[in-house]
Amino acid sequence: MKDLEFLSKVDVLQGLNVSELVTLRGCCQTGQGQEGERLSAEGQEAQDFFLLMEGRVELRYELPRGLSSSDQTLSVVKPSGSWGWSALVPPHSYTLSAYCSSPACRFMRLRRDELWGLFDKNHRIGYIFMRNLASVIGQRFHAVQDELARQQGFDQVHRC
């Protein structure tokens, strides 16, 4: 029951009903990480989509020779947030690395093939999931634009 309560709060699952969340729960595996641990790697084949249950995850670009720090963070995922959209969008390669940036992280992992199978069986779940995912990607893109503008001395990027 606790899992369903969590799933009902996840950004990409907004608008799904209880029976759809129960169905989706069947595709989830839980995982955990410790502070500083890389949970997914930039350039790696994207097999998994992630839902953050507890903790904080930083999405970072990697420097040559695998050096990484919070200075390279482009986005932060908080509980009920998600990452790993590259698993659902060709060419299926993570565009950023995900690092646990709190003492511990707990997450649910959804395998790409299982999600596609579920979406084929239940188009409503697939539609709502992908509609919400497009919104999350858009929000992250705008946040990066705003940060770049701020670094250039502007308050924000004008949007139409």
CATH of the domain at 51: 2.60.120.10
73 is a domain residue: yes
Residue 65: per-residue pLDDT: 66
Who wins on pLDDT, 65 or 79? 79
160 is a domain residue: no
154 is a domain residue: no
pLDDT tens sequence across 64-74: 766 666 778 88
Long-range interactions of 117-122: CB distance < 8 A, separation 24+: 118/23, 118/24, 118/27, 122/20, 122/23
Residue 151: per-residue pLDDT: 73
157 is a domain residue: no
Domain count, the chain: 1
89 is a domain residue: yes
* Domain range for 33: 2-147
What is the rounded average pLDDT of the residues 118-131? 98
% the chain with pLDDT above 90 = 76
Residue 35: per-residue pLDDT: 97
Tell how far CA 13 is from the center of its chain.
12
37 is a domain residue: yes
60 is a domain residue: yes
